[in-house]
């Protein structure tokens, strides 16, 4: 989409400084690559020097930036939060494609299902009995929506998403391709030398404004529900086991694994490839660093790393001590070699007395 600097300044609530307000903008790029006709941004003071070198037509900057800091003719859009302002510009320049609220003749929709106004259903979608889809949803090719599934308004299911029977989604939920919501939890009991399946008869509830990455699996509860709270964002290839409870506005990065019946608080960050054991609680605003293994409760606001996961400061202190000890290894070895002679001297002095 093509627009003008003046229009972008209005959209993002920025003050326009320097350049021509009618300068056309057709796309966006990062500060190192932006060219004429493009807009970019500087979100941190450490990148301020790059402003003098840019060839972009417009740059979103922090309020207080002098127009003279940019090359002549470059427009500055001064904002309280440059990154947030730039995001608003991106939404305008790259609007999401909205399919019309049509239903493909190649979709299989049960007669008892209800579909809200403006909802798009693509080819090869299957919608089961009594499923209820809200208004203005986008259900793309190959999705499977089981019986008694409920979708709120403005949900987006990218191609080949599978929602097992009974799953509930709130409003504005986005699920990317290949994800499976509501498969059986991994529940077995060893009896008489055999693994006996504990029937997984619960469900999954995804609250509003949640986004789920590609190839992520969220298992249904054995009894009750597995729940993901409002505003939580989940990356690709994440596994959430049965009966897990995840709070609001948490971040789960790629390849995170969460064991059954674990409770994750609000605003928690689980970094890539960390694992959380079953029946563990992670407190609000805690941070679990990459590849950590959580085996016991994490207090609110704590930051942990390593395996088993421990307070980050304590782990770093221990690592520094070990590194220092390793640096003194030669001296330690020399002391060890001197020990026999030292014992002999001490023995001689003792016997002489």
Residue 17, CB-side half-sphere exposure with 13 Å CA sphere: 19
Q: Which among 195, 242, 249, 279 is annotated as catalytic?
A: 242
Q: What is d(CA 59, CA 25) in angstroms, rounded to the nearest whole number?
A: 11
Q: What is d(CA 339, CA 120) in angstroms, rounded to the nearest whole number?
A: 81
Q: Cβ of 350: how many Cβ atoms within 10 Å?
A: 8
Is residue 183 exposed (0-12), middle (13-18) or buried (19+ Cβ within 10 Å)? Answer: middle
Contact 207, 170 (CB under 8 A): yes
Q: Cβ of 97: how many Cβ atoms within 10 Å?
A: 6
Residue whose entry in the numeric block shows the structure tokens 């006996």: 196
Peptide bond into 308 cis (omega under 30): yes
Inter-helix orientation angle 329-352/312-327, to 10°: 70
Q: What is d(CA 117, CA 246) in angstroms, rounded to the nearest whole number?
A: 31
91 as an active site residue: the answer is no
The DSSP element (H or E) to which 11 belongs, if any, is helix 5-12
What are the backbone angles phi and psi of residue 66, rounded to the nearest 5°? Answer: -80, 135
For 237-255, letters b (16+ CB in 10 Å) and e give: bbbbbbbbbbbbbbbbbbb
Reading the block at residue 11, the tokens are: 């959209």
The DSSP element (H or E) to which 324 belongs, if any, is helix 312-327
Residue 97, CB-side half-sphere exposure with 13 Å CA sphere: 5
Q: Give the chain's length.
A: 353
Helix (H, G, I), strand (E, B) or coil at 244: coil
Reading the block at residue 331, the tokens are: 């001296």
Residues tagged active-site: 242
């Amino acid at each position: 989409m093509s627009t003008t600097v003046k229009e972008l300044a209005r959209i993002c609530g920025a003050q326009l400084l320097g350049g021509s307000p009618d300068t056309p903008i057709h796309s966006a790029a990062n500060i190192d690559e932006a060219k004429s006709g493009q807009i970019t941004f500087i979100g941190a003071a450490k990148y301020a020097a790059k402003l003098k070198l840019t060839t972009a037509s417009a740059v979103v900057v922090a309020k207080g930036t002098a127009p003279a800091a940019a090359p002549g003719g470059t427009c500055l859009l001064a904002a309280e939060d440059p990154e947030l302002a730039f995001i608003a510009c991106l939404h305008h320049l790259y609007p999401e494609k909205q399919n019309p609220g049509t239903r493909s003749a190649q979709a299989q929709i049960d007669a008892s299902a209800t579909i809200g106004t403006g909802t798009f259903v693509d080819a090869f979608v299957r919608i089961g009995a009594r499923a209820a889809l809200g208004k203005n949803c986008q259900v793309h090719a190959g999705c499977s929506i089981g019986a008694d599934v409920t979708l709120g308004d403005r949900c987006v299911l990218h191609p080949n998403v599978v929602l097992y029977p009974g799953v509930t989604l709130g409003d504005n939920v986005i699920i990317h391709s290949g994800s499976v919501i509501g498969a059986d939890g991994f529940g077995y009991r060893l009896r008489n030398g055999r693994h006996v399946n504990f029937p997984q008869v619960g469900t999954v509830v995804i609250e509003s404004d949640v986004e789920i990455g590609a190839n992520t699996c969220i298992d249904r509860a054995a009894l009750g529900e597995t729940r993901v709270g409002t505003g939580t964002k989940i990356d690709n290839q994440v596994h959430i086991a049965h009966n897990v409870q995840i709070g609001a506005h948490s971040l789960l990065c790629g390849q995170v694994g969460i064991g059954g019946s674990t409770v994750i608080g609000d605003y928690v960050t689980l970094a890539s490839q960390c694992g959380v054991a079953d029946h563990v609680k992670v407190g609000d605003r805690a941070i679990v660093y990459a590849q950590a293994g959580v085996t016991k409760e994490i207090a609110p606001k704590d930051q942990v790393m390593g395996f088993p996961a421990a307070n980050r400061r304590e782990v770093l202190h221990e690592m520094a001590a070990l590194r220092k000890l390793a640096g003194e290894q030669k001296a330690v070895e020399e002391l060890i070699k001197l020990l026999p002679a030292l014992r002999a001297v001490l023995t001689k002095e003792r016997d002489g007395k």
